[in-house]
Amino acid sequence: MTSRPPTRALHVLDHSLPIGSGYSYRSRSIVTFQKRLGLDPVVLTSPKQGTNTDGREQVDGITHYRTGQTGGRLPFARELLLMARMAARIIRVARAEGVDLIHAHSPSLNVVLRRAHRVVAICEGIRSEIISRGIPPERVALVPNGVDPEWLEPRTRATEIANHLGLGDGPVFGYIGSFSRYEGLAFLIDAMPELLGRFPNAKLLLVGGGRDEEAVRKAAGNIGAAVLVPGRVPQEDVRDFYTVVDVFVLPRRRIRLTELVTPLKPLEAMAMGLPVLASDIGGHAEIVNNGQTGLLFKTESSKSLVEQARRLGEDRDLRAQLGAGGRQWVEAERTWERIVARYLPIYGGVA
């Protein structure tokens, strides 16, 4: 007699959309494609979602339970209340929904890792880190980030956006994502004068926002019209902005986070057929195959960045070759349909 794989998993999230983050977009993709595979996911978010009371709603056909915010004036007391409230809420929702298993996203404590039946890592860097904490390798599965297959559909250049921004005919180096200090955007902006010496009509397009936005805008202002910072754009317009970029640049700095974690952004750029130019931190090197799907440069080396950017700016054939290579790799290895299917045997071995 064979056991059937579980069909209902309760996904316990810190937060979900409409709070925009790489975490929330990944979580949405996981539950969306699990549903398409025949599973029946249910979502529970923590008080960090920002709702005042407990509630339940349908989001894209998936039941989402919300947990109301906790009281407590002292941070430590608030944290204790949050943990106790979430523990009770998980039990109630799990019983009410009759779930087969509980899938906790972002467990951060070693004790949680040791007691979990299986642990899922989003990249090899995180998997190695978890194993180094004493978790048996056979209990640590790899389910990396992916992209929606819709990103692979051909898309023409958004001429209206290009004309509005005044991009002209020079190469457009672009970045789309959050503006955090570790993203290295100020370093990228500082390299623009050298690139302008070789490509007078070049533009640097920085789309997004975040904690470092003021510093980014100030640095951009020092360069002039060659650096464009339109700010945040609606999620449904993001792909149009990718179409006006010639080279997608990821200048992340080297810190523990960037060494271990692979970002989602290069996968999106590759799916759009763009060549990726990225710093050689661990999180990028795990995704970007240097010379095949993109080019790597020495982290925080302006000389290395400019050299590689010049290669891509001068050579349309190289850009096309790397863009095609990245797109083919994403299509073969990193669509959410393929990635989420990895949960089937994992769930089957837990329930």
Checking if the pLDDT of 1 tops 50, the result is no
Cα 350 from Cα 331, distance rounded (Å): 29
Written out in words, the top-level CATH class of the domain with range 9-146+335-348 is alpha beta
At 264 the pLDDT is 93
pLDDT digits (tens, 9 = 90+) for 73-119: 555 556 667 777 788 888 889 889 988 888 888 655 455 667 778 88
Checking if the pLDDT of 2 tops 50, the result is no
User: How many C-alpha atoms does 73 have within 13 Å on its Cβ side?
Assistant: 0
Please state, as a whole number, how many other Cβ atoms lie within 10 Å of the Cβ of residue 330: 25
Instruction: Check residues 253 and 133 and name the one with the higher pLDDT.
Output: 253
pLDDT digits (tens, 9 = 90+) for 259-275: 999 999 999 999 999 99
User: Hey, CA dihedral for 80, 134, 123, 31, is it positive or negative?
Assistant: negative
CATH number for region 150-332: 3.40.50.2000
pLDDT digits (tens, 9 = 90+) for 160-204: 999 999 999 889 999 999 999 999 999 999 999 999 999 999 999
Within 8 A by CB and 6+ apart from 313, the residues are 171, 173, 195, 198, 199, 202, 246, 247
Cα 136 from Cα 65, distance rounded (Å): 33
Cα 107 from Cα 54, distance rounded (Å): 22
At 6 the pLDDT is 56
At 91 the pLDDT is 85
Checking if the pLDDT of 124 tops 90, the result is yes
Residue 238: name the closest of 341, 129, 151, 143 by CA: 151
User: Is residue 4 very low, low, confident or very high in pLDDT (cuts 50, 70, 90)?
Assistant: low
Report yes or no: 90 and 44 within 8 Å, Cβ to Cβ: yes
Domain boundaries, the chain: 9-146+335-348, 150-332
At 293 the pLDDT is 96
What is the mean predicted confidence (pLDDT) over 135-149? 93
Q: CA torsion angle for 212, 121, 16, 287 (degrees, to 10)?
A: 50
Instruction: Check residues 70 and 67 and name the one with the higher pLDDT.
Output: 67
The residue with tokens 């990103």 is 151
For residue 105, give both structure tokens: 């996203």
* Burial class of residue 51 (count of CB atoms within 10 Å of its CB; 0-12, 13-18, 19+): middle
User: Is residue 51 very low, low, confident or very high in pLDDT (cuts 50, 70, 90)?
Assistant: confident
Q: Give the single-character DSSP code of 46.
A: -
Q: Identical fold at 9-146+335-348 and 150-332?
A: yes
Give the H/E segment covering residue 64: strand 62-66
For residue 226, give both structure tokens: 């060659």
pLDDT digits (tens, 9 = 90+) for 202-220: 999 999 999 899 999 999 9
